[in-house]
Structures are given as structure tokens and as C-alpha cells.
Amino acid sequence: MAFDVTLGQYIPGESFVHRLDPRTKLIMALALIVVLFMIESFIGYLWVAGFLLLAIINGDIPLSSITRGLKPLTLIILLTVILNIFFTEGTQVLWQWKFIKITQEGIAKGLLLGVRLILLILSTTIMTLTTSPLAITDGLEYLLSPLKKLKFPAHELSMMLTIALRFIPTLLEETDKIIKAQMARGADFESGNLFRRAQNMVPLLVPLFVSAFRRADDLATAMESRCYRGGEGRTRLNELVFQRADYFVLGIVLPVLVLVVVLF
Amino acid sequence: MSTKRLTYIALCASLIAALTFFCVPTPWGVPITGQTLAVLVTGLLLSPVDAFFAVLLYITMGIIGLPVFSGAKSGIGVLLGPTGGYIYSFLIGVYILSLFAQKNKPILGSLVFTAIVYLVGSFQLAITTNSTFLHALKIGMLPFLPGDFLKIYLSFVIAKRLVPLFKTQNQKA
């Protein structure tokens, strides 16, 4: 593997944005999504864009990682813009050919929706670029824990997420090892028709699944012998604590965003 | 939720993620990824709720930035994009597959699973690319169908070998 799977998109850093509590960043990303759906003017978007730009500059996020996040949506963004430009009814007709006409309203609406999509993706991308997956998992557990009263397994989910994150590299390594081991025993993954080739995968996949389940078994035993009994009354080594920066963001930046919605 | 259930769900989620990197090229150009295969095996072996959680974990991993969607992609953009429907439809699909599997109708279950994934997936493909549903089915389903039948076949072979192991281990617990 050329990249570290467990880190994902995360780019380590020490900036203000990086050091924010993961809960703060989750709340802000969610708030931005809501705000973006409520704003319907360019001035409002400009505020959000400015805010995101500050986060990008502060977090020292390279442009290439941002474009990578936007890439899967390029087609949709372009289509939204183009369709809205051509098919929005309006009074200010700028250019017309048979039933297709470009109106001022159409251009405005197309661009508005395009900008909204880009900003939507940006707000979540910035969070995942500046927060490690484990930190996000922790933050999610804290934020979802009120739902425990409704029997939602918040602690269990984040524990499972942590375990899954831990085991992906192990399983990848294991796959590689099994492929080599079976090839050393004369397994052939490259010749024969497709059905034959699929069948040749069986000696590869069965050991992989068996070893994964064995690991799950061992892990459960290990956890239980260390007296793991779910989230109740569990303490942690690193508690998430809101710092002054988090109070600043949640107490000042968030209300400003709400104000933007009200004003624009 | 017992510790054992917890670790089994977690390991199934990481199997789905790990097998997404596992790619077999085919003569007709569309590679077969192990992702669906792992989802199928999960559905065949785990209980409906557990299988649902395993897929939910896999999708969450993708959303929080791990490159676990096919083509080493990640992020919420993939789910909102043209091919997103083929991913989140696993959630409903795997639950139903597992329900069928528990009633000893795994073949019907995997066919229903495949149908759900393609209906939801192609629906989103059609909406996001503004084409007709039929056209979306043609480009989003036909090239993948042969590979899917292979995967269903493989998942049966694998699940069959694993079931005895599963039973003895769960009796021990």
C-alpha cells in the first residue's frame, strides 16, 4: 500500500483548525450543511466561502486534496449548472434558439446551485482533512451519547468503528500473505476462463474470512478477560475537553453563521 | 450487545473495506471488486441487525475520509454522486438478504439483494446524470450482472464452508 489506509485523507498538522475539538468540527460541518440549504443568495454564500477559505488557509490544506474531494461530483456540478442555465423560465431573455433560451434568472440559479454543491462538499472535506478518523469516531460517540436513552448503541458503534479501523491494514496484509502462500503451493489466479478463475479465488477467500473471524473471536476473549463490559461506567485516558478555541468557534463563529442566514 | 457480536460486526466491516481493494479484471472491462462479495457473505452469516451495522460501519468509514469506496475514494461526495446509490443501498439490501438467509432461502435473498442495489443505485444514477431510468439500468447494471452472479456463487461457496465454524464457535460462547 502506497498510502496509510487508516489515516485516510487526514493530513496531520498543528494549526488552529487541527487542534479544535472533533465535536466542534462535527457540529460546524453539520451547521454549514444546514446553513447552505437555507441561504439563497450569493452574498450569503460569499460569507460561507470566506469562512471556509479561512479554515483552508489556517489548516494549510493543499489544493490538490481539496480538488480530490470534489472530483467525484464534477459531472453533477456541471450538469446542475448547465441544466439550470438552459431550462429555467425567466423574463430577462438573453439568447434564444427554438425552445432553448438562456435567461438571466437561469444563469443566476445555475451558478447558485453549483456554488452550493461545491461549498457543501468543501465543508465536510475540510473536517476530514484536518481530523484523524479516530478523533472523529470519538467525537461521534460523545455527540451521539444522548441517544443512548433511546437505546441507540452509540458507544458500541464507535467501539466497532475503532476496531474496524485497527483491522483493515491487518486484513490487507493478510490477503497479500495468503495470495503468496497459495501461489507458492501452485495456485493459479491468472489462467483459465472466468468461472475457473473465480473458483480459484475460493482457496484465497476462505482462509481470509476464517482468519478474520478467528481474530474477532480472540479479540472478544481478550476484551472480556480485561473486563470489558460495554460503555457503562467506562472511563477514558484522553477525555475530550472543550478548549477556549472551541468556545470561540461555537460561541462566536456559529452565531455569525446563523446571523448570515437571517440577513441574507 | 455482547462483546463477541461487537467484534464480529467490526471484523465484517473491515473485511468489506479490505476486499474493496481486491480487484479482478474481466474481459469486458468492468472490474469485479470484492466489496459486494464481502457484503454478501456478511449478509449470509450475520443476523439482520448485525449485518446492517457492519455495512453502516463500512459506509461511516468512507464518510469520515478513509479510502474504502471502490477506486480508493472516500467522502460524502461519493455517496451524493452518480454511483452513491449503489453503496448505501447495501444497507437495506443486506438486512433483507440476512432475513431470507435465516429462513433458509439464501438464493432468493441474494437475488432480492441484487435487485434492491440496482434499483436504488440506478435511480440515483438516473437522477444525478439526468438520464432515463432505463438508460441508467443499461449502463449501471448490464455490464456488472455477470460479475454479480459470479460473486453470489462465490459467496455461497464461502459461506457454506464458514457456517460450521461459525456454529461451533458460537456454541462455545
Contact indicator for B82, A76 with CB cutoff of 8 Å: yes
Looking at residue B31, the DSSP 8-state letter turns out to be P
**Of the candidates B6, B70, B32, B65, the residue with the CA atom closest to the CA atom of residue B154:** B32
B-chain residue closest to A217, CA distance: B4
**Of the candidates A11, A4, A253, the residue with the CA atom closest to the CA atom of residue A131:** A11
Q: Residue B23 belongs to what H/E stretch?
A: strand B23-24
pLDDT digits (tens, 9 = 90+) for A223-256: 999 988 887 778 888 888 888 889 988 988 888 8
* pLDDT the model gives residue B13: 95
- Residue A157 to residue B73, Cβ atoms within 8 A: no
Q: Which of A70, A161, A205 sits opposite B158 (nearest CB)?
A: A205
Looking at the predicted structure, is the pLDDT value of residue A66 above 60? yes
Joined grid coordinates for residue B88: 448505501
User: Which residue, among B1, B3, B70, B78, would best test binding to A if mutated, counting the most A CBs under 10 Å from its CB?
Assistant: B3
CA B82 to chain centroid: 17
At residue B3, the 3 state secondary structure works out as helix
Contact indicator for B150, B36 with CB cutoff of 8 Å: no
Q: Which residues pair with B69 in a beta bridge?
A: B73
Average pLDDT over all residues of chain A: 86
Q: Residue B33 belongs to what H/E stretch?
A: strand B32-33
User: Which residue, among B8, B11, B60, would best test binding to A if mutated, counting the most A CBs under 10 Å from its CB?
Assistant: B11
Q: Which residues of A touch B80 (CB under 8 A)?
A: 73, 76, 121
* Residue ranges of domains in chain B, CATH in brackets: 3-165 (1.10.1760.20)
CA–CA separation, A43 and A30 (whole Å): 20
How close B59 comes to chain A (CA, Å)? 11
Q: Which of residues 34-53 of B touch A (CB under 8 A)?
A: 34, 37, 41, 53
Contact indicator for A8, B66 with CB cutoff of 8 Å: yes
Q: Which residue has the cell 465543508?
A: A123
pLDDT digits (tens, 9 = 90+) for A118-152: 898 888 889 989 999 889 999 999 998 888 888 88
What type of residue sits at position A212?
A
Contact indicator for A202, B162 with CB cutoff of 8 Å: no
Q: Phi, psi at residue B98, to the nearest 5°?
A: -65, -40
- Residue B7 to residue A156, Cβ atoms within 8 A: no
Q: Which of B18, B26, B34 sits opposite A168 (nearest CB)?
A: B18
* pLDDT the model gives residue B42: 94
Residue A143 in contact with partner chain B when CB distance is under 8 A: no
Asked which of A37-41, A92-96, B49-53 is least confident by mean pLDDT, the reply is A92-96
**Of the candidates A192, A218, A190, A187, the residue with the CA atom closest to the CA atom of residue A205:** A187
Tell me what percent of the residues of chain B surpass a pLDDT of 90: 46
Residue A79 in contact with partner chain B when CB distance is under 8 A: yes
- Residue A157 to residue B8, Cβ atoms within 8 A: no
pLDDT digits (tens, 9 = 90+) for A152-176: 888 999 999 999 999 998 999 999 9
CA–CA separation, B46 and B48 (whole Å): 6
- The ipTM assigned to this model is 0.88
* Domain chopping of chain A, boundaries: 1-131+237-264
Q: Which residue has the cell 489544493?
A: A63
CA–CA separation, B156 and A19 (whole Å): 48
Residue B130 in contact with partner chain A when CB distance is under 8 A: yes
Tell me, yes or no, if the pTM score tops 0.80.
yes
Q: Which residues of B touch A135 (CB under 8 A)?
A: none
How close B148 comes to chain A (CA, Å)? 11
How close A1 comes to chain B (CA, Å)? 10
Q: Which of A124, A156, A223 sits opposite B76 (nearest CB)?
A: A124
Q: Which of B6, B21, B169 sits opposite A159 (nearest CB)?
A: B6
How close B116 comes to chain A (CA, Å)? 23
Contact indicator for B141, B122 with CB cutoff of 8 Å: yes
